[in-house]
Amino acid sequence: MVEQRVSRRGTGWIVLAGILMILAGGNMAINGLWALHASNSVIDRFQGTLLFSESDLDTWGWIYLIVGAVVLVAGIAVFARSVWARWVGTVVAMVQLFFAFFWIFSPYWPGALVIILLDLLVIHALNPLADDVEYV
């Protein structure tokens, strides 16, 4: 007897969004841990170029660590199709999309375009308002 697997609508998009959220959250948490353990020599090296943290990276380290952990947990919860995780993923992707536009006119513009594309895919996959959309 052959079993047939039943696939729910949009499963591929949900998997893509969940994996991207887990990678982004993990990366952000690792960056937060680095900032918490950065020595003063690192801060002195980048003196005058750090945004909002001329003397201490601890504040940004905690922000990155907490937000990264939330995004990582939400990425895992997306696989269970949790509504709160879909909202968290959508809001985080929208905020990141907004800030990626500031990098368009810098030498890092190719990376900004990739981030914009990935954010748009996550927003499309997790759009909590499009429950009636049929995925093929």
Is 19 a domain residue?
Answer: yes
- Whether the pLDDT of residue 83 is over 80: the answer is yes
pTM exceeding 0.85: no
10 against 68, higher pLDDT: 68
In total, how many domains does the chain have? Answer: 1
Domain range for residue 94? 11-40+53-126
Is 120 a domain residue?
Answer: yes
76 against 44, higher pLDDT: 76
CB 98 within 8 A of CB 131: no
**CB burial readout 104-120, b (16+ within 10 A) else e:** eeeeeeeebeebbebbe
Which tokens is 110 given? 């190719």
